Amino acid sequence: MRIQINIAALKRSKWQEYLARFIFGGAVTAVAGIIAKRYGPEIGGLFLATPAIFPAAATLLEKHEEKKRRAESGRELRAHELAGVDAAGAAMGSVGLAAFAVVVWCLSPHYPLALVMVAATLAWFAVAVAMWLARKIVWRNLRARFRKRSHQPGVVRKLSGRKPSHP
């Protein structure tokens, strides 16, 4: 599936949902700052990688998909499965998050802050997209290999534990 941008999707969220994200995001950022102040930068740094967006995003995605599902029957994926796919993407994104941290760790003492933040954000995006593409390619190859193997009768018997129904 090709990457698409659908601006109209912004209208699906209500203002209360935007407000909830704002409050949750703001609260997590403030808590990260308070923890760093109380326990020092080593513990505080852990909280810079808090899943701040994911819980709200997954819940809202599930809610919107349930609504759509009720409207049009026979959708391919159930709403929570789609939220699970979103989580798999977040796992790929977390590798990019580590790349962001490495860039800030190595460059921030030596270069201007603005340059470091731009470089770190680009590193996050590049690594996250590379991980997403790599996962997509690996899955496609695995699926193709499995499909090819499952056409051999012996493999079907071995996988299912019984004789294939067709000769």
Partner 1 sequence: MIEILLRVIIGGIVVSAFAAIADTLKPKSFAGLLGAAPSVALATVVLTVKEHGAMYASVEARSMILGAAAFFLYASVASRLMIRKKWPALPVSSLALLLWLGAAIGLWFGFHKLMS
Taking CB under 8 A as the criterion, which residues in 63-82 touch partner 1? 78-82
Task: Please state the closest distance from residue 161 (CB atom) to partner 1, in A.
Answer: 20
Handedness of CA 120, 121, 124, 130 (dihedral sign): negative
Is position 164 an interface residue for partner 1 (rule: CB under 8 A)? no
Stretch that binds partner 1, among 67-75, 91-99, 147-155, 156-164 (CB under 8 A): 91-99
Is position 35 an interface residue for partner 1 (rule: CB under 8 A)? no
Please count the CA atoms within 13 angstroms of the CA of 41 that sit on its side-chain side.
Answer: 1
Q: Which of 14, 26, 145, 158 binds partner 1 (CB under 8 A)?
A: 26
Distances (CA, A) of 21 to 44, 60, 84: 22, 10, 19
Task: Please state the closest distance from residue 118 (CB atom) to partner 1, in A.
Answer: 11
Phi/psi at 151 (5° precision): -80, -15
Whole-angstrom distance, CA of residue 7 vs CA of residue 156: 45
Instruction: Scan residues 97-156 and list those touching partner 1 (CB under 8 A).
Output: 97-98, 100-102, 104-106, 108-109, 113, 117, 120-121, 124, 128-129, 132, 136
3-state secondary structure of 42: helix
Question: To 10 degrees, the CA torsion angle through 37, 39, 45, 47?
Answer: -90
Is position 46 an interface residue for partner 1 (rule: CB under 8 A)? yes
Q: Which of 14, 55, 70, 144 binds partner 1 (CB under 8 A)?
A: 55
Of 18 and 157, which CB lies nearer to partner 1 in the complex structure? 18
